[in-house]
Structure 1
Amino acid sequence: MKLPASSAFDAASFRTLAEALGASEGRLRIVGGAVRDTLMGIRSEDVDLATPLLPQEVTRRAEALGAKVIPTGIAHGTVTIVYRDHIYEVTTLRRDVSTDGRRATVAFSDDWKEDASRRDFTINALYADPLTGEIFDYFGGLADLEARRVRFIGEPQQRIAEDYLRILRYFRFHARFGEGPLDTAAYEAVARDADRMMGLSRERVADELLKLLALPDPVPTLALMDEGRIWRAVLPEADSASVARVAKLVANEQAMGIEADAVRRLVAFLPEQADVARGIASKLKLSNIIRKRIVKVRGAGVDILTLSPRAAAHALGIEGARDLWLIDGEGARLRQAMADLTDWTVPRLPIGGGAIVARGIAKGPDVARLLQRVEAQWVAEGFPDAARVEAIADDVVAGERE
């Protein structure tokens, strides 16, 4: 079997680089996701390459072409090559010397099958000759790919013990590529070892969770994870209610024709209590941008849905209002909310504190208080024009003097 044609591999620049790195001598192969995705007709953005050449020799040959070489993972044999506006990761063949469930100590190798044996799943251990497209499959990855089955290479528990993050990766890959029931041996192993994930960095856990949530429909897989209590060590707050909230959101996104958003789905997945969600966001060491988005929506509470969609957007911003409505809204009201928020920009109050002072209110806290009342009425009336706001200000100030 050969790799089908792909613009990423047929480009003259790629073939030039491949030749320089020894492809015609059998010293270079495309590996992993680029092979898997191309076989499935999926456009592959990342091209990983494997070679028995040492990193220093890879660097020398690439730089001789005028390519930029970045030692991104030199200790593990990986360099990143930037050549003619394309990026390639090239890794020397390896074998594991020792592992502790989080990281591995490796030694370089010249054995392709030995390199393949240290990978996680059979569908990720496919190699292809960059010039001829010939595929090398050491562990039945092609058959698994055809069957849409995600299977560990060798003994599942041994693969998991090498890096416990593979438990979460297993479910993410099943959600993306799998069909039908889970591989029995794999599921038993990941369920049995789920507690071992406690030692993983929360950044790695968060990264895997967001990648899973970004898939078109992660709900069936999330349900399997809940059933197997997979989250118990790293996110014990996740339960069947979490899955139900994501399921409702996914259904709403699909009904509204809105693209999946991993962060919005994370908001739905986390508990509804603002302080609990805030604590988990901190524990997962999420970026400040993501934390603020979570806190904004969960802090608002579902009561804000009693407001008009645009009033909610005034309080939360367009993104926050869309998140809240997609997570908790439904039916005709949801459809109207999405219509009201589409191509609409939250306006600014047409007047400032000076307009209140001009009406005879002394500078000080009363100005801010009365301006807030003007703004609240302006929002309640659906953001009327400046002339109406002036009239509202007149009424508010007059009412203060009564």
Structure 2
Amino acid sequence: MTERLPAAEWTARADLAALVRALDPEAEGNCRWVGGVVRDTLLGLSPKDVDMATTLLPEETAARLKAAGIKAVPTGIAHGTVTAVVSGSPVEITTLRRDVSTDGRHATVAFSSEWQDDAARRDFTINALYADPRTLELFDYHGGRGDLAARRVRFIGEARERIREDYLRILRYFRFQARFGSLPADAEAEAAVSELAAGMKGLSRERVGWELMTLLALPNPAPTVRRMAELGVLAQVLPEAQVAGLEALTTHESALGIAPDALRRLAALLPADPPLTDQVAARLRLSVAQRKRLACAAARDGGVLDARAMAYRLGMTEAQDRLLLAGEAVAPLNGWDVPIFPLKGGAIVARGVTAGPEVARLLKAVESRWVAEGFPDQTRVSALLDEALAEG
């Protein structure tokens, strides 16, 4: 019995139908939907991206798109990828490939006309699923459909061979395990990632950082991160990690209904040590803004926290980080806007104080009292200034 992909919102898109007509006007079967879009649709999820595989060479793909009035961008032409710019969302179209050689980071590929060749070079069985764009017939060369139903993340072919082709697949394995997998995990996969974990040392820091942050952004990554630690994988990419901190944070987030935040969870994995945290952020190639936020979270001291005072001093996001990492509630910040200090230096000068350091001292003194009193109104600020002037 022929199995078909269930109809979904994206399968009815007119722009995708036009794309198929442009590439395969004679219905010869030279293109298929592939990978995540097929996998997610089978799971009843809304796919993030739509990708296509084709027997056409990239130059022919681009020529057919151009002839149909569809913009073609050579985003990865050396590896056979052309991006079709259609109205719904861009579609990456990649010529079928087979690996010629690999070095653990990069692969030398050759174009192929065989769908089985293309499926064999992919990482996991659940990512090697194809669907005919017209009939939605499914093509499964490695048992991915059964693995998907069983929530099993399994390498295609021999797990160690797949990993040696690209050591980043170790981190991808855990990301897919956290998103799609169940326990017990595939024994061969776990043995392989543990045995070959040291091979990740040659990966680019950007690739490692992206995989880690994407994993941490998932709804509940803590059990998977714990397993990474047990198998010796986490120590290879984040030796500073303390998994208990992440487990505590995700439990607290769940209890409060707080949405996942990868950077906050990274902060939970790391000790409250700003210099160490900054080293990690630099190693993972985080942005300047991310590094500043991570450093702020690392500066937590475990003392009594005043939610609104922290939000005023540090920023709303930074205050939320500190509160959640401490196991505190963020309710005092809900619906609250950080106020602007209503006193300016000119108002102090108007009271007879000479412009200069004394004005700055008075501003700081009044502001500190204003924050401590819970941000009272202008009348109280004027009274606080009176008191500061009298004391001065």
State whether TM-score is above 0.5.
yes
Which structure 2 residues correspond to residues 241-390 of structure 1 after superposition, within 5 A?
242-303=242-303, 306-330=304-328, 334=329, 338-390=330-382
Q: Secondary structure of the residue that 2:299 maps to in structure 1?
A: helix
Which structure 2 residues correspond to residues 174-189 of structure 1 after superposition, within 5 A?
174-189=177-192
Match of 1:395 in 2: 387
RMSD: 1.3
Q: Give distance in 1, aligned partners of 2:308 and 2:382.
A: 21
Q: Give distance in 2, aligned partners of 1:58 and 1:100.
A: 29
Q: Does structure 2 conserve the Cα–Cα contact (< 8 Å) formed by 1:4 and 1:133?
A: yes
Q: Does structure 2 conserve the Cα–Cα contact (< 8 Å) formed by 1:67 and 1:84?
A: no
Q: Secondary structure of the residue that 1:50 maps to in structure 2?
A: strand
Q: Does structure 2 conserve the Cα–Cα contact (< 8 Å) formed by 1:297 and 1:320?
A: yes
Which structure 2 residues correspond to residues 125-164 of structure 1 after superposition, within 5 A?
125-164=128-167
Q: CA deviation at 1:359?
A: 2.8
Counterpart selection for 1:222 from 222, 225, 243:
225
Q: Give distance in 1, aligned partners of 2:222 and 2:238.
A: 17
Q: Which runs of 5+ in 1 are unaligned?
A: none
Q: Give distance in 2, aligned partners of 1:92 and 1:377.
A: 67
Q: Secondary structure of the residue that 1:132 maps to in structure 2?
A: coil
Q: Give distance in 1, aligned partners of 2:388 and 2:327.
A: 34
Q: Give distance in 2, aligned partners of 1:13 and 1:219.
A: 40
Counterpart selection for 1:166 from 154, 166, 169:
169
Q: Which runs of 5+ in 2 are unaligned?
A: none
Counterpart selection for 2:15 from 7, 13, 16:
13
The answer to whether 1:22 aligns with 2:20 is: no
Match of 2:5 in 1: 3
Percentage identity across paired residues of the two chains: 55
Q: Give distance in 2, aligned partners of 1:70 and 1:36.
A: 26
Q: CA deviation at 1:293?
A: 1.2
- Specify the code of the residue in structure 1 equivalent to 2:36: G
Greater CA deviation, 122-131 or 355-364? 355-364
Q: Secondary structure of the residue that 1:260 maps to in structure 2?
A: coil
TM norm structure 2: 0.96
Residue deviations 1:111-154, cap 9 Å, x none?
A: 11011000000000011111111111111111111110000001
**1:307–1:394 distance in 2 versus 1, CA, 3 Å:** farther
Q: Secondary structure of the residue that 1:373 maps to in structure 2?
A: helix
Q: Does structure 2 conserve the Cα–Cα contact (< 8 Å) formed by 1:194 and 1:232?
A: no
Q: CA deviation at 1:300?
A: 4.1
Q: Give distance in 1, aligned partners of 2:305 and 2:149.
A: 50
Q: Secondary structure of the residue that 2:72 maps to in structure 1?
A: strand
Match of 2:83 in 1: 80
Q: Give distance in 2, aligned partners of 1:300 and 1:270.
A: 12
- Specify the code of the residue in structure 2 equivalent to 1:347: P
Q: CA deviation at 1:163?
A: 0.8
Residue deviations 1:172-224, cap 9 Å, x none?
A: 10010011111111111101111111111111111111111111111110110
Q: Secondary structure of the residue that 1:25 maps to in structure 2?
A: coil
Q: Give distance in 1, aligned partners of 2:294 and 2:275.
A: 10
- Specify the code of the residue in structure 2 equivalent to 1:78: T
- Specify the code of the residue in structure 2 equivalent to 1:64: A
Residue deviations 1:17-75, cap 9 Å, x none?
A: 11221271010011000110000000112111000101111111111121111111111
Residue deviations 1:234-265, cap 9 Å, x none?
A: 22111xxx221111211221111121111221
**1:111–1:50 distance in 2 versus 1, CA, 3 Å:** same
Q: Give distance in 2, aligned partners of 1:219 and 1:26.
A: 43
Q: Does structure 2 conserve the Cα–Cα contact (< 8 Å) formed by 1:96 and 1:104?
A: yes
Counterpart selection for 1:59 from 36, 55, 62:
62
User: How many residue pairs are counted as aligned between the two chains?
Assistant: 389
